[in-house]
Amino acid sequence: MPEYRYLLSEREIPKTWYNVIPDLPAPLPPPLHPGTLHPATSQDLEVIFPHALIEQEVTAAQNIPIPEPVLDMLRLWRPTPLHRAIRFEKALGTPAKIFFKNEGVSPAGSHKPNTAIAQAFYNKAAGVKRLTTETGAGQWGSALSLACNVFGIECMVYMVKCSFYQKPHRRTMMECWGAKCVPSPSDLTQAGRKVLAEDPETPGSLGIAISEAVEDAATRQDTNYSLGSVLNHVLLHQTVIGQEAIVQMKLAEASPDIVIGCCGGGSNFAGLAFPFVPLKAAGKDIRLIGVEPAACPTMTKGIYAYDFGDKSGMTPLLKMDTLGHDFIPPGIHAGGLRYHGMSPLVSLLHREGIVEAVSYPQLKCFEAALTFARAEGLIVAPETSHAICCVVEEALKAKEEGKEKTILFNLSGHGHFDMAAYEKYFAGELSDYEYPEAKIHEALAHLPKAS
């Protein structure tokens, strides 16, 4: 009888996070202060982050203990199941074995609560009363709302305008957990008012929403800022995914040749892929592939340079693959992948050839997601459809070459709040966007002079 799912008990949740920093092949360039362009100090960062998270940003320790109250919350849905997608394999007629980690089973529907819970915990411990954040697809805003509710912190979410109207129920979900959610750009911040004055019809972007959330946090004593991706500590918290997957793949008596995840800021991809980096370094032939939208091709078409994390230039500068901080990507339905930059850790590993990157247009991704839904029953988020598109390509390549590859991917979130996108796809109203070359060139011309 074929086995479909490989499950671990609550006792088998990893007790530590895996830190990739000691395993990097080259030193990670430090963040720079946006004013002086000198390396940012802890005091600079303490305006918006608690000390414990700043320490996790730079630590060289390999394994970092997960505090008991965080583990206690993770137990509500972790360990997540590892599935073998046998019906999907059959639908594709591939000799490849396809496995996936289902992060869509968390209360908010994605991998995002893995870090939201940890971040809310450390902020609470530091006496913070209120957290602000941005959200693209609404998955991160929901996750932080859930986490703030658990730890009794107020939560304010700036949601990218085009997603706010594409997914009204995400806002309601955040309100169920007691948070406040407004469309960004808003007139609540200077950053938002400036963008609205220049372009009242703007679809918004993660870069703009980050500017608003950071400004809100930096101008209030009781408030910190929380980021759902990109930063080292966020990726660190996501490594429970890959650590569990390694144990579960052993149960399945398999070992991945290819590990795949979609990439917005890089956190779900890193969460699954980073724990495999030591195996790759030890000589195992394993490919780690990050997948991004053709409309926002940060790794495949961007450059590796110091850039701001937000539109207004308020955040520290990070050395990363970037399309330029004032690039506003087209309003594709994978709102969580509309970010101009990539996490510095993923960018460095990409630069060093340890991580590969590919990009696909959205129609092809929806097509792949539907093949998957009709075979496995699970309807995924548009972000996740990018990972599945890459799985299809690799599985069909294995078929052509007659090779029995083992593919592992991250099902980063379910698509139950994304029906409007699927509806548009069925109505033939979704289109692919050309690679926005001229806009990217213009944005890259405005990079800060720190590289």
Ligand X SMILES: Cc1ncc(COP(=O)(O)O)c(C=O)c1O
| Residue with smaller CB distance to ligand X, 213 or 252 | 213
Which phi and psi (to 5°) does residue 152 adopt?
Answer: 70, 45
Contact status: 406 vs ligand X (CB under 6 A): no
Shortest-Cβ-distance residue relative to ligand X = 336
Q: Which of 215, 383, 394, 418 binds ligand X (CB under 6 A)?
A: 383
CA dihedral of 64, 126, 160, 312, whole degrees rounded to 10: -100
CA dihedral of 65, 69, 74, 77, whole degrees rounded to 10: 150
Query: Please, what sign has the CA dihedral across residues 28, 246, 406, 279?
Result: positive
E strands in 14-112? 16-18, 63-65, 82-84, 97-102
CB of 350 to ligand X, least distance (A): 13
Site mask for ligand X (CB under 6 A), range 125-154, x = bound: -----------xx-xx--------------
Site mask for ligand X (CB under 6 A), range 38-77, x = bound: ----------------------------------------
**Stretch 73-102 residues interacting with ligand X (CB under 6 A):** none
Contact status: 293 vs ligand X (CB under 6 A): no
Binding piece for ligand X, criterion CB under 6 A, among 40-48, 121-129, 262-270, 427-435: 262-270
- The helix (H) or strand (E) run that includes residue 119 is helix 113-125
CB of 401 to ligand X, least distance (A): 29
Residue 286: CA count within 13 A, CB half-sphere: 22
Binding piece for ligand X, criterion CB under 6 A, among 4-12, 219-227, 265-273, 433-441: 265-273
Contact status: 256 vs ligand X (CB under 6 A): no
| Residue with smaller CB distance to ligand X, 189 or 412 | 412
CB of 121 to ligand X, least distance (A): 19
Q: Which of 267, 312, 385, 406 binds ligand X (CB under 6 A)?
A: 267
* Closest C-alpha to 347, from 359, 357, 337: 357
**Is the link from the previous residue into 14 a cis peptide, with omega within 30 of 0?**
no
> What whole-number distance in Å separates Cα of residue 35 and Cα of residue 241?
37
Tokens of 157: 């979410």
Contact status: 241 vs ligand X (CB under 6 A): no
Contact status: 123 vs ligand X (CB under 6 A): no
Contact status: 263 vs ligand X (CB under 6 A): yes
Q: Which of 280, 326, 412, 421 binds ligand X (CB under 6 A)?
A: 412
CB of 220 to ligand X, least distance (A): 25
**Is the link from the previous residue into 185 a cis peptide, with omega within 30 of 0?**
yes
Contact status: 262 vs ligand X (CB under 6 A): yes
Q: Residue 298 region, left (φ>0) first, then alpha (ψ -120 to 50), else beta?
A: alpha
Contact status: 330 vs ligand X (CB under 6 A): no
Which phi and psi (to 5°) does residue 195 adopt?
Answer: -65, -45
Alpha carbon of residue 319 to chain centroid? 18
Looking at residue 380, what DSSP letter applies? B
| Residue with smaller CB distance to ligand X, 262 or 354 | 262
Listed in sequence order, the residues at least 6 apart from 339 whose beta carbon sits closer than 8 Å to its beta carbon are 136, 205, 206, 207, 229, 230, 264, 265, 296, 298, 329
Site mask for ligand X (CB under 6 A), range 168-207, x = bound: ----------------------------------------
Binding piece for ligand X, criterion CB under 6 A, among 3-11, 55-63, 247-255, 380-388: 380-388
Q: Which of 80, 248, 315, 384 binds ligand X (CB under 6 A)?
A: 384
* Span between the terminal Cα atoms of the chain, in Å: 57
| Residue with smaller CB distance to ligand X, 48 or 144 | 144
| Residue with smaller CB distance to ligand X, 274 or 398 | 274
Q: Are 260 and 407 in contact (CB under 8 A)?
A: yes
Which phi and psi (to 5°) does residue 402 adopt?
Answer: 65, 35
Q: Which of 80, 248, 268, 322 binds ligand X (CB under 6 A)?
A: 268
> What whole-number distance in Å separates Cα of residue 436 and Cα of residue 181?
30
- How many residues in the shown chain lie near ligand X by CB under 6 A? 21
Contact status: 302 vs ligand X (CB under 6 A): no
| Residue with smaller CB distance to ligand X, 110 or 211 | 110
> What whole-number distance in Å separates Cα of residue 410 and Cα of residue 288?
12
Interface contacts to ligand X, rule CB under 6 A: 110, 136-137, 139-140, 229, 262-269, 336-337, 381, 383-384, 412-413
